[in-house]
Amino acid sequence: MSELRFRVVEKAFSKKPVSVDYPGERPDKFFAKNVFDREKMFRYLPKEAYNELINVIDNGAPLDRSIADAVAAGMKQWASENGVTHYTHWFQPLTGGTAEKHESFIEYNQKGGVMEEFSGKVLVQQEPDASSFPNGGIRNTFEARGYTAWDASSPVFIIDDTLCIPTIFISYTGESLDYKAPLLRALRAVDKAAVDVCRYFNADVRKVSAYLGIEQEYFLVDEDLCVARPDLLLTGRTLMGHESAKNQQLDDHYFGYIPQRVVAFMKDLEIRAIELGIPLKTRHNEVAPGQFELAPIYEECNLAVDHNMILMSLMRKVAAEHGFRVLLHEKPFKGINGSGKHCNWSLGTDTGTLLFAPGKTADDNLRFVTFVTNTLMAVYKHNGLLKASIMSATNAHRLGANEAPPAIISSFLGTQLSSMLDEVENSAEGISSTNKKKVRFDLPQIPEILVDTTDRNRTSPFAFTGNRFEFRAVGSEANCATAMIVLNSAVAEQLKRFKADVDALIKEGKTPHDAIMQVLRGYIKECKPIRFEGNGYSEEWKAEAARRGLDCETSCPVIFDNYLSESSIAMFEAVGVMTRKELEARNEVKWETYTKKLQIEARVLGDLAINHIIPVAKEYQDKLMDTVFKMNTVLGKCDAAKLGADNIRLIKEISEHTDYITENVEKMIEARKAANRIVSEREKAIAYHDTVESYFAGIRYHIDKLELIVDNRMWTLPKYRELLFI
Ligand code: ADP
Ligand code: MG
């Protein structure tokens, strides 16, 4: 019966690494080979079109349609030289993945044949009939049109034979139906608000960019083994499976020797990522067996998000070519670490200053404290919303487990930065009028900071790490635009408030320096509850966080309510990122997606329990009963009862487990049916959380117990020890 399992395991463990040939050149030579970057724009575009396009990219100038044809012609020429036959508008719908609909370049030529054509019109805008994408009710049928429009700030790239054009996706009535449109608005908002604040310190600042460096964690599982696990295949995680005797206790996998098959995969992935202009830099083993991490060098936020989306697709593709499945799910295996996507976020000016980097002068440090404090204020005020931005049916399994941030947002600053804020908070006298001249840009109590980057706290969801904040709660599978939309919007709103507060004091006659100090002092006091330097995994922290008034909700569908609180809606509208209507529609999608994911898991769990587990358990039980029966015949009832006691105990245990499983799968199905009848997406999602998912752990527990009892030779599903050690 389990011959298939043994065959698959044997096959998996005898696979050799796929050999990967490096292109004949060094990476700096083939970097961005498949990207229509500036250097290619310069080569393929007429001078005027090139200059205009650069102005669009660098300064956010509106794209003049009159140059679109020239740009399209240049792109088309470059693409043709690279064997490209198709193009697609590439966008990021609310499914969380990416979407593409390929069109070939051919058009009728009026002479009975075809010719290749690619006009400015189709480069700039398209109307894909993408009516099946989730939209939360925004596109009811009479206005069902959705448009994709080119985002010129993210370069066009080639994958296989297709020219991919990054686009936003919006409805006929202008609402965004994707992640990119609100992200671009959030980035514009934070740019504007931060420039206004930067001007207190440096009048030359014209632009502030948000930067994002992503650390992507993932698992690799042998493809054949994965295919033998319907739960992994259909839900991305194992819904059952007893822990392996050895997993990550010894910490021997972390930063350890990378298995050869995996190195080959990584190398292949790196070459292809670099050709797409994705600057992959770091690769290593993560904590759990079978778990790895990669990180590109940080980039402008919009580009970094696009690159991460491209990279996730590329990982799946390259993994398949190496006989692997890549698991991006946040918690594919019970009992070992899950995966996150650490988002290293910072702000930087066009004059070359990283705003979260402390400087050498007191002036620099005041700027530094200003941006840090405003960020903390934003995170404090919108901590529930930030949590909602990273929450999903899949990430819910990871948060709160003892290896990932808890389901409470707090910020770790480290001793040095903490004491710096304390000093600013308590420096009322030292900085007031009499010493004003002297301390204007010379705050003796703020030392030159050599921020100690070893001062790390892995349990914090939002930690300061030297010149940036690291948002660690983001899920490995997520489009991290959701987190970046909220973070950048909230910081933009907060910086606007800061400027208003400071300007009001200046109007009253305070110097800019004193006004800034006074406002900061108030903020530092106000946002103190968000600062937490201790162990975020501890039970005490949960109690403490509740006392501080931080959002401690753990139910995913209820956490989504944060998007619709009046303070969230006011914030998004104030910075022009999303309207109430868009927010409401998006939440419908979030609840619906949540429900569907749980529905699929419940079905798979039920099917596997009834079709795989119970039959195998019963068959083994039958064998045991056979043995006892034969003992009876050969030895007589009395001896058999004594000598067969173990078997009899197992027979009873198996029945207890199978009875529990059958009964609870039945109940789970009933709960699902009841939940399915609920009309409101929110209530339905809550019902799935409270009344359906609540069966999963119990059913799993009894299945995992059976795995330990049933004869190994009969067990059909590959076990953890086989899945996890490549
Ligand atoms: P770790 O956090 O494990 O020490 P790294 O130092 O390699 O990891 O950094 C992780 C990510 O942070 C990388 O993508 C890196 O480019 C990025 N990063 C470094 N500095 C910044 C910054 N100022 N802003 C945004 N991302 C940054
Ligand atoms: Mg890091």
CA of 293 to the centre of ligand 2 (A): 11
pLDDT of residue 220: 97
Counting residues of the chain whose pLDDT is more than 90, the rounded percentage is 77
> Which two tokens mark 244?
């392996």
CA of 343 to the centre of ligand 2 (A): 8
Regarding the beta carbon of 286 and ligand 1, being less than 6 Å apart is answered no
Instruction: Note the Cα 86 to chain centre separation in Å.
Output: 30
DSSP string, 114-150: EEE---HHHHHEE----TTS--TTSS-GGG--EEEEE
Tens of pLDDT, residue by residue over 1-24, are 568 899 999 999 999 999 998 888
pLDDT band at 281; cut points 50, 70, 90: very high
Query: Mean of the per-residue pLDDT values for the chain?
Result: 91
pLDDT band at 82; cut points 50, 70, 90: very high
Sequence-distant (6+) residues with CB within 8 A of 486 are 186, 382, 385, 386, 388, 389
Sequence-distant (6+) residues with CB within 8 A of 373 are 421, 424, 520, 523, 524, 527
Is the per-residue pLDDT at 191 higher than 70?
Answer: yes
CB atoms within 10 A of CB 567: 13
pLDDT of residue 638: 77
Amino acid present at 4: L
Regarding the beta carbon of 298 and ligand 1, being less than 6 Å apart is answered yes
Residue 259 CA to residue 526 CA, distance in Å, equals 50
pLDDT of residue 139: 65
Strands (DSSP E) found in 547-647: none
pLDDT of residue 142: 54
Is the per-residue pLDDT at 34 higher than 80?
Answer: yes
> Which two tokens mark 49?
């079109």
pLDDT band at 192; cut points 50, 70, 90: very high
pLDDT of residue 119: 92
- Taking phi over 0 as left and psi of -120 to 50 as alpha, with beta for the rest, 236 belongs to left
Tens of pLDDT, residue by residue over 596-631, are 999 999 999 999 999 999 999 999 999 999 999 998
* Torsion over CA: 221, 226, 232, 234 (sign): positive
Is the per-residue pLDDT at 106 higher than 50?
Answer: yes
**Selection from 106, 209, 98 nearest residue 148 by Cα:** 98
Tens of pLDDT, residue by residue over 477-515, are 999 999 999 999 999 999 999 999 999 999 999 999 999
Is the per-residue pLDDT at 410 higher than 70?
Answer: yes
Helices 65-81, 47-59: crossing angle, 10 deg rounding: 100
Regarding the beta carbon of 210 and ligand 1, being less than 6 Å apart is answered no
Tell me if 248 sits within 8 A of 289, measured CB to CB: yes
CA of 374 to the centre of ligand 2 (A): 22
CA of 210 to the centre of ligand 1 (A): 13
3-state secondary structure 221-278: EEHHHHHCCHHHHHHCCCCCCCCCCCCCCCCCCCCCCCCHHHHHHHHHHHHHHHHCCC
Weakest mean pLDDT among 127-131, 389-393, 575-579, 616-620? 127-131
Counting residues of the chain whose pLDDT is more than 70, the rounded percentage is 94
The CA–CA distances, whole Å, from 87 to 169, 242, 560 equal 16, 47, 37
Is the per-residue pLDDT at 662 higher than 80?
Answer: yes
Tens of pLDDT, residue by residue over 427-462, are 754 333 222 333 333 454 444 545 444 457 778 899
Rounded mean pLDDT, 311-321: 98
Tens of pLDDT, residue by residue over 245-260, are 888 877 777 878 899 9
Tens of pLDDT, residue by residue over 209-246, are 999 999 999 999 999 999 999 999 999 999 999 998 88
Ligand nearest to the CA of 348: 1
Take atom 13 of ligand 1 and give the residue whose Cα is closest: 213
* Ligand 1 pocket mutation, candidates 214, 283, 298, criterion most atoms within 8 A of CB: 298
Of 5-19, 138-152, 527-541, 686-700, the range with the highest mean pLDDT is 686-700
pLDDT band at 165; cut points 50, 70, 90: very high
**Selection from 114, 111, 44, 115 nearest residue 82 by Cα:** 44
pLDDT band at 157; cut points 50, 70, 90: very high
CA of 701 to the centre of ligand 1 (A): 40
Query: For the whole model, what pTM was predicted?
Result: 0.94
DSSP string, 182-193: HHHHHHHHHHHH
Amino acid present at 493: E
Ligand nearest to the CA of 254: 1
How many residues would you count in the chain? 726
